[in-house]
Amino acid sequence: MLDIYGRAPVEHGAPVIRNAEFFRIELAPLADGKIFVSLTATTVDEDEPQLLDQEIASDFVATIDELLTLIRAHVHIASRLS
């Protein structure tokens, strides 16, 4: 199960988005050598038969390490309760 944290990362307190079905990472190379990163979560609407997309974070990074840090700040893999 993925728990998603919004733009202001917290120390894994209550997540903003629970039970995301999909997590999408979009990368766009820029002319200055940096990469624009957009993180999006897709959930299932509990009231309507539709999928909902919500932007989690977007930022400019220079390295893969910065990209991983951004992901770690906003995505936490929680263990399922039995």
Q: How many angstroms separate the CA atoms of 21 and 23, rounded?
A: 7
Tell me what the mean pLDDT of segment 54-60 comes to: 91
Asked whether the beta carbons of 79 and 57 are under 8 A apart, the reply is no
Residue 1 has pLDDT above 50, yes or no: no
Question: How far apart are the C-alpha atoms of 16 and 4, rounded to whole Å?
Answer: 6
Q: List pLDDT tens digits, range 20-38.
A: 788 899 999 999 999 999 9
The residue ranges of every structural domain in the chain are: 2-77
Q: Residue range 7-26: average pLDDT? A: 67
